[in-house]
Structure 1
Amino acid sequence: MATVMLATRNDDMRGYLAAKLKRSGHAVSRVADYHSALTLLEENAYDVLLTTVEADSSDELDLARAARRIDPDMRVMFITGFSAVALMPPAEEGARGMTLGEPVHLNRLGEELRRLVRAA
C-alpha cells in the first residue's frame, strides 16, 4: 500500500481516481489546488504525488518540483489524457534528476503505483 497525494482540479477525475486507488489498497489524500497540495506535502509524508497535467497551467509541474524538494525520494506520477507517466529517481546512487516511465492505462493505475513505490 502506498500513501498517495492526489492533486487535480477536475472534481470528477479526483473522485474517480481516489475511489480506484482506495479499492487497490492505497491511502489517498485528495486536493483540488496547488496551494492545498503543497501545504499537505509539507505537513505529511507521501510515497507518491499523483497529479494531472493540464494544458492551461504549469501548476502541476511546479507542484512536482516542490514535492521533490520537500522529499527527494517521493515518486511523482502525472496523468495525461488517457494514460499516466511516472517520474522516478535514477537507479544510480547519488544521481540527480528523474526518469520518465512508459505510459500506463488508468485501469492499471493501482498496480502501477505499487510497482512505482517498490522501485525505491
Structure 2
Amino acid sequence: MTADEVLDDDCLFCKIVAGDIEADVVHESTTTLAFRDLDPQAPTHVLVIPRSHYPNAAALASGEPETAAHLFDAAAAIAESEGLGEGYRLVFNTGAQAHQSVFHAHMHLLGGRAMTWPPG
C-alpha cells in the first residue's frame, strides 16, 4: 500500500502532508513529516506523522511497520537538532478517551524542560 492509497481527504494532517495547509515543518523524509504543534505543551513540541493515513499508532504498526519505525528515527534526528540531549518524551495518544483529537497516527516529541512522572 502506498501513501497515496491511504490519504483521507477530510483529515487535517493529510492536508498538511498534501501541502494544502501550511505548517512549521522541522523535518521530513519520504515516509514522515514533522511540524511544530500549534498548542505546545513544552518549549519543544513537535508532531511526527506518517505521510500515509492511519487512525492511530496501532493501525500504523500493523499496516506499515517500517514507517512506524521511521517515526522514531525522525524523532531522534529532531531531538538532536533541537538540542534535547538532556532528555525528551515521545507520546502517542490513542482514542478520544486518551485525548487524541486528530485521528491520523502521530507522535508528540516534547522537551526543553523537566518532565514529570506520571504524566496526565
TM-score bucket (shorter structure): 0.3 to 0.5
Structure-1-length-normalised TM-score: 0.35
Higher helix share: 1
Structure-2-length-normalised TM-score: 0.35
Q: Identify the structure with bigger relative contact order (alpha carbons < 8 Å, sequence gap 6+).
A: 2
- Structure with the greater alpha carbon radius of gyration: 2
